[in-house]
Amino acid sequence: MSEDEDRTVDLDGVSGGGAGFNHEASSSKTSCCPSPSPDRVLEIVLENVLLFLTSRRDRSAVSLVCKSWYRAEALTRSELFIGNCYAVSPRRAIERFQKVRSLVLKGMPRFADFSLVPPNWGAHFLPWVSAMATGYPWLEKVYLKRMSVTDDDLNLLAKSFPGFKELVLVCCEGFGTSGLAAVARECRQLRVLDLIDDEVMDDEVDWISCFPETGTCLESLVFDCVEFHVNFGALELLVARSPSLRRLKLNRHVPLGELLRLMVRAPRLTHLGTGSFSLSEHPAQEEQEAASLAAAFAACKSLICLSGFRDIVPDYLPTIHPVCAKLTSLNLSYANINAEQLKSVIYHCHKLQTLWVLDSVCDEGLQAVAATCKELHELRVFPMDAREDGQAFVSEVGLLAISEGCRKLRSILYFCQKMTNDAVVAMSQNCPELVVFRLCIMGRHRPDHVTGEPMDIGFGAIVMNCKKLTRLAVSGLLTDKAFSYIGKYGKLVRTLSVAFAGNTDMALRYVLEGCPKLLKLEIRDSPFGDTALLSGLHHYYNMRFLWMSSCKLSLGGCKEVARRMPQLVVELIREPEEEDIVDDVVEKLYMYRSLEGCRLDAPSFVTIL
């Protein structure tokens, strides 16, 4: 469930490793020749050892030792991670890594999730799937994030890889039920089909019916983001003939009665997304359904992860009691429940490590979480009213309670309307294990609501005290001081998100000059100009990308960067209606390192300098 998977640097190899390949090295089983030369023996040994090396960072290090190590590593890398699909071309990747079985590919910048990137910007899967169709016929796994994927792409994927096992699409769009049907039909070895936060089009194709009729290898089927009905009868039959199924996440169009029938067929599920969780419209049946529900949960002895609850009637939440004691992950972020209703279940969830809730549970609900969930690693509190001047029901009180109760906290995402420095400082002191700290005070430029001070001290304490921090998102009223703290103490920070913050260019300079591990920087609506942009030239080749929108950049400044950094792609993104860049002002800048130079598929509203 965590969206934060980037734990190591990606592979792009900007350092531009060795030249061609020694093809003799490609097979460790030499057939006809006499005993191999000593060099070859060493290479064979190395290749065999490297088979055990899985960490991306380690592999990257190995590839830099010398040419033969570079070759050996390239031949034994089976998992390819491409953090930016435009950093390297498919052809180049396939030439270097010939034995890849698993691909992770990421496309659009994250701010695309918030409508800041116009449609049709790019990140097309097509060139990748086409190249891999011939280059990696033994491909087994594909994980895509923020890519544009069409039905044709899925069709090609389905037909090209006979051993294909896992497809995970996160925040992707451009495909629909016909593409899914192709995958279901052709990928006979399919174990995992996970659709997470995608936009799926309804072509009215019954893709659920397309899975192999004799039985499937399915272990995981996730489609909670699909916004239309699936054929329930076919789903029930599918579950019945998928003995390995352990993860099933239904969409909101699966009502309770149907959920019950599925649970009965799949008592060994470990992860369940409950769909709408709303009761039948016939009051007479409600009690019976509730009783059946409790019994069904009691029968699911292996359940450790629960989500869904899209249209929940809160009174029936307690039916999940039988599984609470074993739950490690609970996602109630679509459930409009209050503190009392949360308490009825949370008091049993002693083993909980991941919790997503709505702020409808209020500070009081969070206090209950703090009292019980001592093993909590990740907490996300989403707002019911997602407007900047809306009502919020959690505040510094909830944050403080969590910090005092959940000392093992590693990751937090907290939306609120008011906060204090004291609470944030307390969290920095109470939760030294924090790796991800994302606080979103929804009203722009809001100071500490008790002291009236900027939130500098709070965020300063976070970077100072949380020595393992790698991801930070700031908000509220922030001066340059906050950024000086980040630059001074945030030595491990890799991802930084900034919005409506800072006073002058110095703020950005502090960060660019002070944070050596900075990999991803996304900034919006902050007063940073060309001077600040140019202060980062020493570092941009070490970064995956920089996003700056609604700042104070000019065309001249961006051109200067492009001129001095030839291996950076500097994209200026306009609104599609705009003909050309107006008044020398750069509204949106997206720049990233790349081995390939200017991309050829840029739409008309993108100017690449």
Partner 1 sequence: MESTVTYKSDLNLKATELRLGLPGADDSDNEKPTTPVAVRNNKRPFSELSDESKSVSDAKDGDRETAPVAKVQVVGWPPIRSYRKNSFQSKKIETEGAGIYVKVSMDGAPYLRKIDLKLYKGYPELLKALEEMFKFTIGEYSEREGYNGSEYEPTYEDKDGDWMLVGDVPWDMFISSCKRLRIMKGSEARGLDCA
Q: Which residues bind partner 1 (CB under 8 A)?
A: 111, 113-116, 197, 199, 225, 229, 253, 281, 310, 333-334, 336, 382-389, 391, 415, 418, 440, 442-452, 477, 497, 499-500, 524-525, 527, 550, 552, 575, 582-583, 585, 587
Q: Which of 55, 141, 117, 128 is nearest to 89 (CA)?
A: 128
Torsion of CA 554, 558, 563, 568, to 10 degrees: 180
CB closer to partner 1, 20 vs 452: 452
Q: Is 452 exposed, middle or buried (0-12, 13-18, 19+ CB in 10 A)?
A: exposed
CB closer to partner 1, 113 vs 213: 113
CB closer to partner 1, 297 vs 483: 483
Q: Min. distance of Cβ 472 from partner 1 in angstroms?
A: 14
Q: Which of 415, 365, 364, 422 is nearest to 392 (CA)?
A: 415
CB closer to partner 1, 103 vs 457: 457
Give the E-state strand segments of 114-170 in sequence order: 141-145, 166-170
Tokens 């509220």, residue located? 476
Q: Min. distance of Cβ 82 from partner 1 in angstroms?
A: 23
Give the side-chain half-sphere CA count within 13 A for 60. Answer: 15
Q: Min. distance of Cβ 513 from partner 1 in angstroms?
A: 23
Torsion of CA 225, 230, 232, 238, to 10 degrees: -80
* 461 close to 431: Cβ distance less than 8 angstroms: no
Q: Which residues contact 600 (CB under 8 A, 6 or more apart)?
A: none
Helix (H) or strand (E) holding 374: none
Residue 37: DSSP 8-state:
P
State the Cα–Cα distance between residues 415 and 116, nearest whole angstrom: 20
CB closer to partner 1, 58 vs 204: 204
CB closer to partner 1, 60 vs 417: 417
Q: Quickly count: other Cβ atoms within 10 Å of residue 583's Cβ.
A: 7
Q: Min. distance of Cβ 532 from partner 1 in angstroms?
A: 14
CB closer to partner 1, 52 vs 114: 114
* 398 close to 378: Cβ distance less than 8 angstroms: no
Q: Min. distance of Cβ 445 from partner 1 in angstroms?
A: 4
Rg (CA), the chain: 26
Q: Min. distance of Cβ 497 from partner 1 in angstroms?
A: 8
CB closer to partner 1, 161 vs 500: 500
Q: Min. distance of Cβ 397 from partner 1 in angstroms?
A: 10
DSSP string for 456-489? HHHHHHHHHH-TT--EEE--SS--HHHHHHHHHH
Q: Min. distance of Cβ 441 from partner 1 in angstroms?
A: 9
CB closer to partner 1, 373 vs 440: 440
Q: Min. distance of Cβ 550 from partner 1 in angstroms?
A: 4
